């Protein structure tokens, strides 16, 4: 079998938009705030319940800010070299990768799952901005050369 040697190739990538997550967290935040306002108006609500409701709203707000921050992040580069990937200012060696996963068809989302992680870290989850077909082909060839599974399956990413 003839293996094509990859040169250093670069592709523009970005984090996934997260619009559905932003919408979901916003709805949870509105519902929680409405519930907390009603509980404050109720004279019989224990203080501990009010504190827990406030903590819940704080957590939702922090998660929402994280999603909005990630959505606003600029594009970055994915550089494919012979035995490593340079992604988001981080070098990932082929021996550190358990598998590459792709989910979706029209705007596929790629995830790189390290060997020591159960989930795909958010900084290793991306979409191609330009030359999507070429990027997918190069990444698949790179995975085959380094004997890394390249799977079409859904994956979970951590915030």
Look at residue 115 and tell me whether its pLDDT is greater than 60: yes
Task: Specify the pLDDT at position 7.
Answer: 58
Q: Report the distance separating Cα 43 and Cα 59, nearest Å.
A: 25
Using a 10 angstrom Cβ sphere, with 0-12 exposed, 13-18 middle and 19 or more buried, the burial of residue 121 is middle
Distance of CA 154 to the CA centre of its chain: 12
**Cβ pair 125, 157 in contact under 8 A:** yes
1-159: CATH topology is: PH-domain like (2.30.29)
The CA-based angle 111-78-153, given to 5 degrees, is 20
Convert the pLDDT of each residue in 98-114 to its tens digit.
999 998 888 888 999 99
Name the pTM for this structure: 0.72
Per-domain boundaries in the chain: 1-159
DSSP element (H, E) containing 107:
none
Task: Specify the pLDDT at position 52.
Answer: 94
């Amino acid at each position: 079998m003839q293996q094509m040697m990859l040169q250093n190739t670069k592709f523009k990538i970005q984090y996934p938009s997260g619009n559905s997550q932003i919408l979901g967290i916003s709805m949870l935040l509105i519902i929680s705030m409405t519930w907390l306002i009603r509980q404050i108006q109720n004279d019989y609500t224990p203080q501990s319940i009010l504190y827990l409701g406030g903590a819940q709203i704080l957590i939702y707000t922090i998660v929402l800010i994280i999603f909005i921050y990630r959505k606003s992040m600029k594009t970055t580069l994915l550089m494919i070299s012979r035995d490593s990937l340079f992604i988001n200012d981080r070098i990932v060696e082929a021996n550190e990768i358990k598998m590459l996963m792709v989910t979706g068809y029209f705007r596929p989302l790629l995830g790189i799952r390290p060997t020591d992680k159960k989930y795909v870290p958010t900084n290793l989850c991306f979409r191609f901005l330009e030359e999507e077909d070429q990027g997918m082909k190069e990444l698949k060839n790179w995975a085959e050369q380094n004997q890394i599974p390249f799977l079409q399956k859904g994956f979970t990413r951590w915030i």
